Amino acid sequence: MKSTFVVPDGLEPAERVADAPAPGDRMPSHNPMCFGCGPDAPNGLHFDARAGEGMAIAGEMIVEPHFEGGPGMIHGGILSSAFDEIMGMNVMLMGVTAVTAVLNVDFAKPIQLGSRLRFSTEILGTQRRKVYVRAVAHLIDDEGRSGDEVGGAHGLFIVVDPSIHFRESRARSQFASPRFGA
């Protein structure tokens, strides 16, 4: 899959913090009501994301009927949200809070409702407060093996101070999290 996203040369390697989830461990939710990773979000993506080796994570989700866009297919915005979520979770391995600045999604194939998707993602590197990430999604067959690639994404995330960045929006949250300056 070819992307128009440009990753700059000379990136610094990202560093995994000592208390990051161990490879194979489930990635924590930053907010139980988060549409992407929150277990309590009634119509959320309900990702099962696991830490990988180095600066990588992988996640799986089922394409639920309420994710429908075109007849019988996932809505492109849902797939974009899934890429945004899994790449944002990847940045958590660095022990920082970061927000999406750029999200570039390449849609390779239509995805039918009821499909199981596997996402893999890795941090490409950093440049001051910027974190560059890429991800790919594959269909999962009935035996749990990755099949056709259905999309790819690149993202640019900006590291923020949560007590400043979320200061005004915090009062509207359904959940107050110390991680986000509550």
Asked whether the beta carbons of 99 and 158 are under 8 A apart, the reply is yes
The predicted structure's pLDDT at residue 178: 47
pLDDT of amino acid 146? 85
Residue whose tokens read 């600066």? 55
DSSP string, 31-76: -TT-TTT-TT-TTS---EEEE-STTEEEEEEE--GGGB-STTBB-H
Closest CA to 135 of 121, 125, 147, 149: 121
Tracing tokens 């107050």 back to the chain, one arrives at 176
Instruction: Say if CB 125 and CB 81 are below 8 A apart.
Output: no
pTM: 0.88
Give the integer Cα–Cα distance in Å for 71 and 150.
Answer: 17
pLDDT, one tens digit for every residue, the chain (182 residues)? 566 788 899 999 999 999 999 999 999 987 888 898 888 898 999 989 999 999 999 999 999 999 999 999 999 999 999 999 999 999 999 999 899 999 999 999 999 999 999 999 999 999 999 999 999 999 998 888 888 999 999 999 999 987 765 666 555 655 555 444 44
Provide the sign of the torsion angle of the four alpha carbons 5, 137, 59, 16, taken in this order: negative
